[in-house]
Amino acid sequence: MAHRWKNTLNRSDITPIEHYMNRRQLMAGLAAGVGLVGLGSSVRAQPALEPNSFEDITSYNNYYEFGTGKDDPAKNAHRLTTSPWTVQIDGLVDRPGDYAFADIMDAMTIEERIYRFRCVEAWSMVIPWNGFELADLLEMAGVQPGAKYVAFETALRPDEMPGVRFPVLDWPYVEGLRLDEAMNPLTIMATGIYGKDIPNQNGAPLRLVVPWKYGFKSIKSIVRITLTEEEPPTSWNKANPREYGFYSNVNPEVDHPRWSQASERAVGGGLFARRIDTLMFNGYEEEVAGLYKGMDLKANF
């Protein structure tokens, strides 16, 4: 399969793994120092936090199927059985069926992709993911002409996922992209991070990564992909449409109802690091702005 990806980042840009692992202390510091946010541009950067062990990478996660506490996924995700794993691909495709994860991996060329990645908590990283373009998987299934959207669904296993006992969200977790977004070469199905297999609590064995959108769009532990003509529902949009739109593109001109998204800190810079301007589409404007030509990006947030 042809390599279609254009990269503007290299290994020197990667957020050091010890800084990525320090998200827990960083976010705790931000919460404690929220009143100091306005000082960020004028205060000298502080020394980086002490690095943790590699296991800390799995200790601060959002994966509500395993609990709403940040450390719940690390405590509970070991229950998730990830092998064997199949992904059902259906809807408007030529070859619907259950695709074994092992067969998918055999058919794909796995490459390292170095992406900017930003969540809504006003911090950003540059992360090396291992994976393959979602377009290659969709082409394997054969996209039919009537398809306009791609819907995704996370595993729902009450015996393995204690968090789904509570109606925090309308289970199973679902997400969606427009077809042209899904076929963009930046959109990947990730199978690894920092050269290692993705841990269960980070979305094993297969998760979506859409680097110009906020992190919650990158659905974890995918078991179903459906091609459809209609815009599919998405979990956070259903739960709170005022705060979470279908598109969820990184757009510094559209504030979250509870905070500004115009600036951010890079992980590893310290609590008082100078804030930097958030880049439109997370820095991928050249690659993806054409997808939204003529759209009102404030209405379609």
**How far out from the chain centre does Cα 62 lie?**
11
Task: Compute the distance between CA of residue 201 and CA of residue 69 in angstroms, rounded to an integer.
Answer: 12
296 pLDDT more than 60: yes
pLDDT of the residue at 157: 98
Give how far Cα 95 sits from Cα of 121, 143, 182, Å: 40, 9, 18
113 pLDDT more than 70: yes
Task: Compute the distance between CA of residue 96 and CA of residue 176 in angstroms, rounded to an integer.
Answer: 18
19 pLDDT more than 50: yes
Give the CATH number of domain 11-292. Answer: 3.90.420.10
More confident: 264 or 142: 142
% residues pLDDT > 70 (the chain)? 80
Query: Is 48 within 8 Å of 19 (Cβ atoms)?
Result: yes
Q: What are phi and psi of 246, to 5 degrees?
A: -65, -40
pLDDT of the residue at 22: 58
273 pLDDT more than 70: no
Task: Compute the distance between CA of residue 71 and CA of residue 155 in angstroms, rounded to an integer.
Answer: 20
- Tell me the pLDDT tens digit for each residue of 30-89: 444 333 222 222 222 333 343 333 444 446 678 999 999 988 998 999 999 999 999 999
Whose tokens are 């309308």? That residue is: 170
5 pLDDT more than 60: no
The first and second tokens of residue 156, run together, are: 């729902």
pLDDT of the residue at 118: 80
Spatial CA neighbour of 112 closest among 100, 123, 126, 101: 126
Query: E strands of the chain, at which residues?
Result: 86-91, 97-100, 111-118, 123-133, 149-154, 174-178, 188-193, 196-197, 207-209, 222-228, 263-266, 276-277
| Domain ranges (residues) in the chain | 11-292
**Mean pLDDT over residues 209-233, rounded?**
97
pLDDT of the residue at 30: 47
Spatial CA neighbour of 152 closest among 225, 209, 212: 225
**Mean pLDDT over residues 246-275, rounded?**
82
pLDDT of the residue at 45: 32
Q: pTM here?
A: 0.87
28 pLDDT more than 60: no
Tell which phi-psi region holds residue 67, choosing left (phi > 0), alpha (psi between -120 and 50) or beta: left
Q: Which range, 62-76, 118-132, 218-232, has the best average confidence (pLDDT)?
A: 218-232
Spatial CA neighbour of 98 closest among 108, 82, 85: 85
Q: At 141, which helix (H) or strand (E)?
A: helix 134-141
Q: Number of H helices and number of E strands within the chain?
A: 8, 12
